[in-house]
Structure 1
Amino acid sequence: MKRLLAVACVLVLTGCSTMPSAYDLPLPGGADLGDRPYRVVVEFDDVLDLVPHAGVKVDDVAVGKVEDIGLSEDGSTALVRVAVRGDVLLPSNALARLRQSSLLGEKYVELAPPAQRSATPLVDGAVIPVTRTNRNPEVEEVFGALSMLLNGGGIGQIQDISRELGAALSGNEAAARSLLSTVDGFVGALDGHKDEITRALDGMDRLASSLESRKADIGEVLDGLEPGLKVLHEQRGRLVGLLDSLDRLSSVATDVVDRSREDLVADLKALEPTLRTLAEAGQDLPQSLELLLTFPFTDAVLDGIKGDYLNTYLTLKPGGRR
């Protein structure tokens, strides 16, 4: 405080026209930057109420301070330039987080190494991009979310769900228990057949891969079907008319069969003796037909003929008129 008063007195006494910013005044406390600090630019989506001269910590130990806060050229991110003590070693892929010392405390920047450390160190002039920075939720945000939950949020809905669930299960405990037992059995069956299910899914995956590899052939087939489908579409009216005609024909045929059913049954009964006689004839009928075609010479006579001629002796008796 004495140093601040002294600086103010000097400015007033010397009549300086340019007043320095409050952020340029030296403040007591803070981290010791040493003789050779290095500076890093950290990109944030939102710096909230972070101010210059705020602390920079590593593992809750103050190792630097915020020197300047600005905006990127497009105004989408905040650029925070921090100074870090030279003996603090961090990897080049270090993370930066905006933290708060207590519930109502000041904001500070926390630097930390990631799980997978880079082999190269963080050097002077490096930039920590916005993809590796984040911030804690504000107290106002937490209370706002809590207020939304309590006032017309999920609490009332949970109460309604609990009440309706109790009313639905009241008196149906046995059915609910049976349902849960069935679900348990179903899940157990699925677990017992998980190998088959896995094989089926693998088969579907192979089928999908095969279809994907033959996509061009399938497209060619579908393109080839297009003319046929177009003709079917154009002939749709005629096809419908044909089906209607077939429907009428079937109706007429059914009516004819119904009307002539008794005559048809009588004709079949009249044919019964003839068919029975033909069945009893057996092989005699085919043999008779063979004899009819070779009359008067049977197959046995033809087997006895030698050569191409047949010698016969005829006896003619005179009589009658000459």
Structure 2
Amino acid sequence: MRRYLLLATVLLATACALPGGADVGSRPYRVTAQFGDVLDLVPQAAVKVDDVPVGRVDTVRLAPDGWSALVTMTVNGDVHLPADAHAYLRQSSLLGEKFVELAAPATATTTPLADGATIPLARTNRNPQVEEVLGALSMVLNGGGVAQLQTITQQVNQALNGNESNVRDLLSKIDNLVNNLDRHKDDITKALDGMARLAKTLDDRKTQITGAIDDLTPGISVLAQQKDNLTRMVDALDHLAATATDTVNRSRDDLVADLKALQPTLRQLAAAGQNLPKALQVLMTFPFTDAVLDDVKGDYLNVYLKDH
């Protein structure tokens, strides 16, 4: 039985490597797709569109970046694909051969896929292998995720037991917080945009900021050297303030008495009103007032003074 299985495996591998496949017609074109992993894809593998064979794989080689693969394919010229077509690595059955499926995206461009075009790594993908699925399942079943989920469930039940009202209140507050954030998302976006503009402005002026910081360095050094003197000056100012406060407190009663004594004088000055400025005008022209000067003819005045 083991011999028959080995023979069947050899025949299957040989059949997969034999040339042939889909008819590419008289006007085929070549397409190259970059894959992160091509698994066991081999030349002469099928190229399909909507599960219909339309071409074959010509070569599978290492890309210049050293970690991806370049798959060169020949496609029937009657098959029209958009320039942004995708390439997927598929498997015909559970244990079947690998093939490349070409497909158009949901919103495809009107530009056709040209001869010699390359489908980049961003538009290629592959299905998970059966071995990978079984390995992940084995990890979960053998003391992995299932046991951990049971422990997590038990711990959550213990934490929530008797705290249902608190948890419900917490969830309610979280819901209010999320709603408030959603209502203010425009303001948050504007704040982030403002921070971005500020950061850009600071980046544009980093030379000036660096120069200002460099210019401040000598001044900071001088302040560091004079910190003892500055400390003594501040202490002296504090002592002066305390002395001034004590002096004002001690002379407060005398100052209030002096101001009260000046009150009658100030009241009389206020009552004099406009008489005081007029008296000052006469004082400046004594003994000849403005009324006497109006009666004088000419540019001089004879005055007789008699001593009694």
TM range (shorter): 0.5 to 0.7
Classify 1:61/1:29 alpha carbon distance in 2 versus 1 (closer, same or farther; 3 Å).
farther
2:28 is the counterpart of 1:33: no
Q: Say which of 19, 38, 47 aligns to 1:47.
A: 38
Q: Say which of 237, 247, 257 aligns to 1:256.
A: 247
Classify 1:23/1:33 alpha carbon distance in 2 versus 1 (closer, same or farther; 3 Å).
farther
What does 1:252-291 correspond to in 2, within 5 Å?
252-291=243-282
| Counterpart amino acid of residue 165 in structure 2 | S
CA distance, structure 1, for counterparts of residue 146 and residue 250 of structure 2: 82
Q: In the alignment, is the contact (CA less than 8 A) between 2:47 and 2:54 conserved in 1?
A: yes
Q: Say which of 215, 222, 232 aligns to 1:234.
A: 222
Equivalence for 1:116: 109
| Counterpart amino acid of residue 299 in structure 1 | D
* Number of residues of Structure 1 aligned to a counterpart in Structure 2: 288
Equivalence for 2:6: none
Bigger-Rg structure (1/2): 1
Classify 1:181/1:211 alpha carbon distance in 2 versus 1 (closer, same or farther; 3 Å).
closer
Deviation at 1:231, TM superposition (A): 3.1
Q: In the alignment, is the contact (CA less than 8 A) between 1:91 and 1:122 conserved in 2?
A: no
- State which drifts further: 275-284 or 201-210: 201-210
Question: CA offsets, 1:185-206, max 9 Å, x none?
Answer: x468648xx5xx4996699499
Classify 1:200/1:75 alpha carbon distance in 2 versus 1 (closer, same or farther; 3 Å).
closer
Extract unaligned runs of 5+ from structure 1.
1-20, 318-322
Deviation at 1:314, TM superposition (A): 7.0
CA distance, structure 1, for counterparts of residue 190 and residue 173 of structure 2: 30
Equivalence for 1:62: 53
Deviation at 1:59, TM superposition (A): 1.0
Q: In the alignment, is the contact (CA less than 8 A) between 1:37 and 1:83 conserved in 2?
A: no
CA distance, structure 1, for counterparts of residue 150 and residue 111 of structure 2: 46
| Counterpart amino acid of residue 118 in structure 1 | T
Q: Say which of 97, 115, 127 aligns to 1:106.
A: 97
| Counterpart amino acid of residue 256 in structure 2 | V
Instruction: Among all aligned residue pairs of Structure 1 and Structure 2, give the percentage whose two residues are the same amino acid.
Output: 43
Q: In the alignment, is the contact (CA less than 8 A) between 1:90 and 1:122 conserved in 2?
A: no
Question: CA offsets, 1:101-154, max 9 Å, x none?
Answer: 33444322212345225335446xx65554543211223444555656834777
Classify 1:33/1:153 alpha carbon distance in 2 versus 1 (closer, same or farther; 3 Å).
farther
Q: Say which of 80, 87, 100 aligns to 1:96.
A: 87
CA distance, structure 2, for counterparts of residue 29 and residue 203 of structure 1: 60
CA distance, structure 2, for counterparts of residue 179 and residue 25 of structure 1: 62
Taking structure 1 as the reference length, the TM-score comes to 0.63
CA distance, structure 2, for counterparts of residue 221 and residue 299 of structure 1: 70
CA distance, structure 1, for counterparts of residue 25 and residue 209 of structure 2: 78
What does 1:190-205 correspond to in 2, within 5 Å?
190=184, 197=187, 204=194
CA distance, structure 2, for counterparts of residue 132 and residue 161 of structure 1: 42
Classify 1:120/1:84 alpha carbon distance in 2 versus 1 (closer, same or farther; 3 Å).
closer
2:67 is the counterpart of 1:76: yes
Classify 1:59/1:210 alpha carbon distance in 2 versus 1 (closer, same or farther; 3 Å).
closer
Classify 1:210/1:62 alpha carbon distance in 2 versus 1 (closer, same or farther; 3 Å).
closer
CA distance, structure 1, for counterparts of residue 254 and residue 27 of structure 2: 119
CA distance, structure 2, for counterparts of residue 143 and residue 26 of structure 1: 25
| Counterpart amino acid of residue 260 in structure 1 | S
| Counterpart amino acid of residue 231 in structure 1 | G
| Counterpart amino acid of residue 21 in structure 2 | A
- SS of residue matched to 1:256: helix
- SS of residue matched to 1:276: helix
CA distance, structure 2, for counterparts of residue 27 and residue 215 of structure 1: 61
Deviation at 1:229, TM superposition (A): 6.6
